[in-house]
Chain A
Amino acid sequence: MKKVWPSLEEAIADIKDGAMIAVPGFFACGVPRALLQALIKKGTKNLTLACGCGPLLGAAEELKALTLNGQIKKVIDSYGLFRSASKGMQDPFEQAVRAGKIELEVFPMGTMAEKYRAGGAGIPAFYTPTGVGSVFEESDVSNIEKNRKPKETRIINGQKYVLEYALKPDYAFIHAHTGDREGNLRYAKTARNFNHVMATAAIVTIAEVENLVEAGGLAGDDVHTPGIYVNRMVKVPRPKFAITID
């Protein structure tokens, strides 16, 4: 299988304006930072970035560049705003959200995780107890009022559940500790977070790997994401992040 690509630029060359890209990471931990930087350089516009827990807050410089370049149409996340309200007011992304120039759609984190899991597993939608009794039961939670479509609920065995739909992004950007030439991936500690489910959900999965090894370099028992989910791999230097939630 030819999965190793010579450069990030070539690996993302076919991403068109309007694409939906899954971006993993729990704040800065496990973010595909090199791929985001390549996306900024490429200048693709009208993008929907499907996240899970604030990777764009972790990659704050990249978020700022993507916002100021006008590349983002929409972000989907459980944690899309800076925790600090005063920092948020200064942030170009939050300003664009406030002005309605970028859509921010919010789901609970476990619902985000399950949307990708379902997307990768051929399940179109699922009922979850999460969000019952809150606005998440009533409608989609978006800063754009006309996009707040009502949600369906159902009583199963006496308990209320909310219907949520699977997500199948066009691309997933993945950051792995090690990849082998078969596309098998292994993550480091809590940097795994959304990487695996997003790799399963996307139509085309592009992984940046800190270490690239031959087939057999990762023991079969040590693989976290089997190569069937991974289309392209590029070796990148280990990124450096500040660990912060603000």
Chain B
Amino acid sequence: MFPKVKFEGLPREMIALRVSREIKEGSYVNLGIGIPTLVSNWTEGMDVVCQAEIGMLKTGALAEGDNVDQDLINASCQAITELPGSVYFDIAESFAMIRGGHIDVAVMGAYQVNTRGDYAGWSNPARGLFVGDVGGSMDLCAGAKKLFIAMEHITKGGEYKIVNELSYPATAMGKVSMIFTDLAVIEITPEGMVLKEVVAGLTPQDVQSVTEPKLIIAPNCKEMEL
């Protein structure tokens, strides 16, 4: 399904910045591939510890030049650095942390999200294969206390990503609590999708026009502050 219009939204780094504002001090977070990874650029200096499912707590900044060590990468397969207090562990321990409910917030990308908080992110049917790269996404959905989605509001081809029903294979059902896009911040509630913030220059009606489900506009819906 295609919305009729397309709006110029925030760059990916700014979506990541807005996500970072929603992460409380003292949180353990896990960041997925894509926009979520960029969130760590904005949590530096905060009392937030990033867990990488490869088996590391307290991931540091990206490594450059002589600092690149092929034995030290994050879950997005980027060379990174360690920090004082960084720790390494094996993969079964890493997923025990994830599945066992020890991660406060997981931030993931998505192809589609619906009103019930179901989301699709692991397999693109356009690829024409029953199998896909599931990685650790479903474990994070099963175990993280909160699941945030950070993504573009519509696809590059102009299709809805916030949909009535998923047409892509589901990653998890009913797990998403908030969606952060280049246009808006939306909270998923038992009543439906609540529009909380809209990017500067757009109206709630503009956001509705590129969102398939009917949005509930929060009484205190405001312009997104960055």
A interface list, Cβ under 8 A from B: 26-30, 52-54, 78-81, 83, 85, 88, 97-98, 104-111, 113-114, 116-117, 128-136, 141-143, 145, 177, 187-197, 224, 240-241, 243-245
For A109, give its contact among B70, B95, B118 (CB under 8 Å): B95
Q: Which residue of A lies closest to B143 (CB)?
A: A129
Asked if B226 CB lies within 8 Å of chain A CBs, one says no
Partner of A190, one of B55, B137, B139, B169: B55
Nearest residue in A to B122 (C-beta to C-beta)? Answer: A134
Q: Find chain A residues with CB under 8 A from B71 CB.
A: 29-30, 177, 188-191
The reply to whether B139 and A109 form a contact with Cβ atoms under 8 Å apart is yes
B91 beta carbon closer than 8 Å to chain A? yes
Number of residues from B at the complex interface, CB < 8 A:
54
| Residue B132, interface by CB 8 Å | yes
Pairs across A and B, CB under 8 Å, 26 listed: A26-B54, A26-B91, A29-B54, A29-B71, A53-B54, A78-B135, A97-B131, A98-B129, A106-B131, A108-B134, A110-B139, A113-B92, A114-B95, A131-B142, A133-B172, A134-B138, A134-B169, A134-B170, A136-B134, A145-B130, A190-B88, A191-B71, A193-B55, A193-B90, A243-B68, A243-B77
Find chain A residues with CB under 8 A from B99 CB.
110, 128-130
**Contact residues in B for A134 (Cβ distance below 8 Å):** 122, 138, 169-172
Q: What's the Cα separation between A188 and B73 when bound, in Å?
A: 11
| B202 interface hit (Cβ, 8 Å) | no
Which residues of A lie under 8 Å from residue B134 when comparing CB positions? 78-79, 106-109, 136, 141
Q: Please give, as numbers and ranges, the residues of chain B lying within 8 Å of A130 by CB-CB distance.
A: 99, 138-139, 141-143
Q: Given contacts A83-B133, A143-B131, list 16 more A-B pairs with CB under 8 A.
A: A26-B91, A27-B73, A28-B70, A28-B77, A53-B54, A85-B126, A108-B135, A109-B135, A134-B170, A134-B171, A141-B134, A189-B71, A189-B82, A190-B52, A191-B71, A197-B92
**Which residues of B pack against A, CB within 8 Å?**
33, 52-56, 68-79, 82, 88-92, 94-95, 98-99, 118, 122, 124, 126-139, 141-143, 169-174
CB of B91 to closest CB in A, whole Å: 4
Question: Given the complex of chains A and B, what is the CA–CA distance between A54 and B131 in angstroms?
Answer: 14
Pick from A78, A97, A187: contact of B129, CB under 8 Å: A97
Chain B nearest CB from A192 CB (Å) reads 5
Which of A105, A110, A136, A142 has the most chain B CB atoms closer than 10 A to its own CB? A110
- Say yes or no: A192 contacts B55, CB within 8 Å: yes
| Cα of A65 to Cα of B9 in the assembled complex, Å | 45
Determine whether the beta carbon of B170 is less than 8 Å from that of A197: no
B170 contacts A133, C-beta separation under 8 Å: yes
Bound-state CA distance A177–B129 (Å) is: 37
Which of A29, A106, A117, A189 is B132 in contact with, Cβ under 8 Å?
Answer: A106
| CB within 8 Å for A240 and B94 given contacts A79-B133, A79-B135, A108-B137 | no
